[in-house]
Structure 1
Amino acid sequence: LADPALVKVVRVQTAQQMGTAIQEHASDADALVMAAAVADYRPAETADQKIKKSNDEMRIELAKTEDILKTAKGKFVRVGFAAESENLVENAKSKVSSKSLDLIVANDITADGSGFGSDTNKVTLIDRDLAVEELPLLTKYDVSNRILDRVKALFKD
């Protein structure tokens, strides 16, 4: 896909690089929309070379990934996404509060026609006042336009 017009794109490969890029570039942003599905955990150590097979068992220690959206600094509209498999609204409301979000897009990844690998999605929008709006099943394009409409409305607040 081509980069969108009027959007500065910074390409990264790791969550740590993403966190650094946001700290460097977000201060002059109007909105920070964090749709990336960043893993909650990462390998505690990485290898520079291929790890050769041996007869020994291998264990990978995991370290918690920094919460990029929670630690992002700046005066911009904050939009987060939550892919949930249970307690959708409750978990999403908790994230609105803990991350000081203006809006969260909560996605029940167990719902039919929703989530990864589908052209449609059924999401719930929750704003900073914890007001809940459940959207019907829509194309992802239509979902993105509904989110954009909500972000534009936040600039008027």
Structure 2
Amino acid sequence: MTILITAGPTREAIDPVRFLTNRSSGKMGYAIADAAAEAGHRVILISGPTQIDVPHRVDYIPVESTQEMFEAVQHWIKKADVAIFAAAVADYRPAAVPDQKIKKTGDTMTLELVRNPDILGSARKEFGFHGALIGFAAETENLEDNARGKLQRKGCDLVIANDVARQDIGFDSNDNEILLVYPEHTEPLEKHSKEHLGQIILEKSMALAPHD
């Protein structure tokens, strides 16, 4: 099967030398991509900037901004049977990006932000994707409720939720502890390495894939 995976953070330029981003390391998405490639699937990995070596035997599509990731997903998702959106994309970007570095001129500076396109929310209606759709929910509160809301709003078959307020899991960590939130039930997975959880997420995602 062909599996599309997004991973890592995105960067939104403020000026030629500064950008907005988040703490995502990309480790979870890369672990899933590695597991999928090892299992013999075709993997399309669309990734924001990370410090991780690209897994062997994947089609690697590097991007930087959320808009670039949106366009890459729009192009490549047509080839996928399963789409796993593990990237932590920026919801907003600066409304204007000057050609030159912004100089320090006062005690405060106001930065106007505009909404970025919704990649996961576009998969079904705008991109016409009919395969298994798996989203991620990085939350700091109401973990299951927020994940289930995302699942329903965006037409997912599964949302993987984790608590990024905890220091021992999630962003920057080699471990994670997640909830698998399905339309009708929730399955918790205890704390483990992201490599181990990547294997499980792959298996759960493949079980949702359409079969001829």
Deviations 1:102-139 (A, max 9, x none): 11110011235211121111100012x23100111111
Deviates more, 1:136-145 or 1:49-58: 49-58
Aligned to 2:203: 149
CA contact (8 A) 2:136 2:160 kept: yes
Equivalent in 94, 107, 110 of residue 165 of structure 2 = 110
Identity %: 39
What number of residue pairs does the alignment pair up?
A: 155
Distance 2:90 2:130 in 1: 25
Aligned to 2:95: 44
Which of 1 and 2 has higher RCO (CA within 8 Å, sep 6+)? 2
Deviates more, 1:80-89 or 1:105-114: 105-114
Distance 1:136-1:63 versus aligned 2 partners, 3 A rule:
same
Distance 1:36 1:59 in 2: 28
Instruction: Name the structure where strand makes up a greater proportion of residues.
Output: 2
Deviations 1:32-73 (A, max 9, x none): 111110012211111222112223632101111211111122
Distance 1:80 1:8 in 2: 20
Aligned to 1:2: 54
**Equivalent position amino acid for 2:178 in 1:** V
Deviations 1:56-99 (A, max 9, x none): 63210111121111112222211111100000000000000001
Matched, 1:120 2:175: yes
Distance 2:186 2:112 in 1: 38
TM-score, scaled to structure 2: 0.69
Distance 2:107 2:209 in 1: 57
Give structure 1 regions of 4+ aligned residues with deviation exceeding 6 angstroms. Answer: none
CA contact (8 A) 2:82 2:206 kept: no
Distance 1:3 1:120 in 2: 19
Alignment of 1:1-157 (within 5 A): 1-5=53-57, 7-55=58-106, 57-72=108-123, 73=127, 74-127=129-182, 129-155=183-209
Distance 1:96 1:55 in 2: 44
Deviates more, 1:110-119 or 1:13-22: 110-119
SS at match of 2:146: helix
TM-score, scaled to structure 1: 0.91
**Equivalent position amino acid for 1:136 in 2:** E
SS at match of 1:97: helix
Shift of 1:11: 1.2
**Equivalent position amino acid for 2:207 in 1:** A
Distance 1:76-1:134 versus aligned 2 partners, 3 A rule:
same
Distance 2:202 2:168 in 1: 22
Unmatched tracts of structure 2, length 5 or more: 1-52
